[in-house]
Amino acid sequence: MSTPFTHAMAGEWNKIFSVTADKTDFDQYQKLELELATKVLENLGYILDATQVHTGGERFVMSGYKLVLTGINKQRRKVVIKFSSHPAGREEIKHEHFVSTSLQQLDFAAHSFAAPTEFEFRDTTNHTFRAVEYVEEKTPMPTLPTTEQFFLALRAFEVQSGLHATTSSHIKKVNKIFGLATAKDYLRATDAYATYITDSKLASSITNTLKQAKEMLHQHTDTIRQYTGFLTHTDFAPHNVRLVDGELYLLDQTSLHFGNKHESWARFINYMYLYNTTLAQYLITYTRDNKSPEEYQSLRLMQLYKLIYLLAFYVGSHQRTSGNHQQLSAARLQFWSEILTAVQSDQAPEQKLIDTYKTTRNKLRDKDEKVRQRALGQL
Amino acid sequence: MKILIATALFPPDIAPPAPYVKELAARLSTNHDVRVLCYGTIPETVEEVPIDVIPKRHFAWFRLWLFTRTLFTLTRRHDVVLIQNAPSTELPAAFVGLFYKQKLQLQMSDQKVVSTGWRNFLHRFTCKRITCIVDTPLPKDRPEIIPFADYPSEAFAAYEKSWEQHLALLSTHFNTV
């Protein structure tokens, strides 16, 4: 089967179907990569932080063969550096550089958003790295009152939907840089993820729900198509948003593509079921009360799509891990299966389900992952 | 009365005047037969309002030609054609106006359209081929219902009143046809 069309979708696809290393392999890769990165960056005047929080924990199941490092550059500016000598990791970093430089040139944007300043980008014969400004928030989004988070989220959604590729000239411009995710791409990916989940037999309790969710997506292809062509962030979550002095920053630009407008909303709302159920419900209610029935339907469809992806991701994670990591993947499969059932029925998930899962998750997470999550502002 | 609304933007487009045009079509359809001609892919539906769509993905001149052809055909079947201002609607209107000037009204619903250079020339050219320019103030934006706030009853009352006034003013233009 051919891979999904856009770089962002391919990134998600690869996290399930192309990552084959287990933790031991990854640790070995990371050790060698870190040695190389340290040597290269220190020669260029960077000082890396003694503790690198983004190299530990569960990074190995999602990393994509690149390092995310923090430090300071020669000008004493705090930086985030993505570094890789692996072909896939290098490709991702190059793409992010390309997207970042191209985004500001799109002349049909109704709104604009900020991106961290790129201080340095190097693509040599054996490695690639990109050093960008570390955007520090005085008050991370999850610490804001829920009502403020609500308005911040809406603002971020509005900024993304201000870029809408409709005409042939828009499409030509964005296709080269981001790719254009079509309704067919979403359905193709859904079918592949659903088959992967079913074949694994790890989520047998939701076979029917999965089938119904898939059918719902297929039956409403036109609604998915109706809202494609919008800039959307496939991993829109608090750790990829920064509000600094009134300026909104969207991070991780490899996750940007032109697709269904509600893909980023869906990712955010699904995420918030776990971290702030009230906010998730506010956003759903807001959409139902203020947007057209088609928009609300599109949001629900994207929620289903993102949940099916998440389940496929944790199936893959379960197969590549052992011990506590594997038990954690199993717990996640159970949890997100219940969320899929709730969303499929247009119901709010029960708080008891969320609390039970969080207790299990916190017991099973290792120390490094807890540190990483704290750094991401999620603990 | 049969009214055709020709517009460059219609939801899911988000830029003004897309939301206004959709609401206008819905409200006018309570008393008139309304049809919409727009550019797009799959427009949001409005009950009782058929919508003709010219795909935006075609090359510019081809879609302009398709819009002109459809506008010409539909104008014959309608009493009033309300053209929402934009270069991509005004150029077709200028052509159709050669034949059906008395039916065409140009509504200045998009305040952001910049009329300089060739756009200004096109706009002046089109104005000679329409029966009138409708420059009534637009109604207030629909108030938002915020889940954790009180229902904005007063804001909705003001919104409805602004629409009543707006439609009353528009009707005076329709009645001149």
Q: pLDDT truncated to tens, each residue of chain A (379 aa)?
A: 455 578 888 888 888 887 666 667 777 888 889 999 999 999 999 999 988 877 665 665 555 688 999 999 999 999 999 999 998 889 889 998 988 888 767 666 655 667 888 999 999 999 999 999 998 877 888 889 999 999 999 998 988 888 888 888 888 888 888 889 999 999 999 999 999 999 998 878 888 899 999 999 999 999 999 999 999 999 999 888 888 887 888 888 888 899 999 999 999 999 999 999 999 999 999 999 999 999 999 999 999 999 999 999 999 988 888 888 889 999 999 999 999 999 999 998 999 999 999 999 888 887 767 666 766 655 4
- Nearest CA-CA distance, residue B136 and chain A, Å: 25
pLDDT of residue A1: 46
Contact A377, A140 (CB under 8 A): yes
Q: Are B146 and A229 within 8 A, CB to CB?
A: no
pLDDT of residue A137: 78
Of A166, A281, A295, the CB nearest to B56: A166
> Partners of B2 in the beta sheet?
B33
pLDDT of residue A102: 81
Residue in chain A lying closest to B9 (CA): A166
Q: What is the rounded distance in angstroms from the CA atom of residue A55 to the CA atom of residue A369?
A: 9
Lowest model confidence (mean pLDDT) among A15-29, B1-15, B129-143:
A15-29
- Nearest CA-CA distance, residue A352 and chain B, Å: 23
Task: Give yes or no for A162 touching B (CB within 8 A).
Answer: yes
B16 contact residues in A (CB cutoff 8 A) = none
Q: What pTM does this model have? A: 0.91
- Identify from B9, B10, B23, B42 which residue to disrupt to test chain A contact, counting A C-beta atoms within 10 A and taking the largest count: B42
- Nearest CA-CA distance, residue A278 and chain B, Å: 10
Q: Are B148 and A168 within 8 A, CB to CB?
A: no
B59 contact residues in A (CB cutoff 8 A) = 168
Average pLDDT, chain B: 92
- B 129-168: CB under 8 A from A: 142, 144-148
A226 contact residues in B (CB cutoff 8 A) = 12, 41-42, 44
Of A161, A225, A281, the CB nearest to B14: A161
A286 contact residues in B (CB cutoff 8 A) = 144-147
Q: Are B14 and A164 within 8 A, CB to CB?
A: yes
- Nearest CA-CA distance, residue A269 and chain B, Å: 15
Q: What is the rounded distance in angstroms from the CA atom of residue B135 to the CA atom of residue A37?
A: 63
A225 contact residues in B (CB cutoff 8 A) = 41-42
Mean per-residue pLDDT for B109-130?
81
Task: Give yes or no for A297 touching B (CB within 8 A).
Answer: no
CB pairs under 8 A between A and B: 58
Q: Are B59 and A282 within 8 A, CB to CB?
A: no
pLDDT of residue B161: 97
- Is the backbone peptide bond immediately before B17 cis, with ω within 30 degrees of 0? yes
B9 contact residues in A (CB cutoff 8 A) = none
- Nearest CA-CA distance, residue B67 and chain A, Å: 14
A164 contact residues in B (CB cutoff 8 A) = 13-15
Q: What is the rounded distance in angstroms from the CA atom of residue B5 to the CA atom of residue B105?
A: 10
Quote ipTM for the complex: 0.93
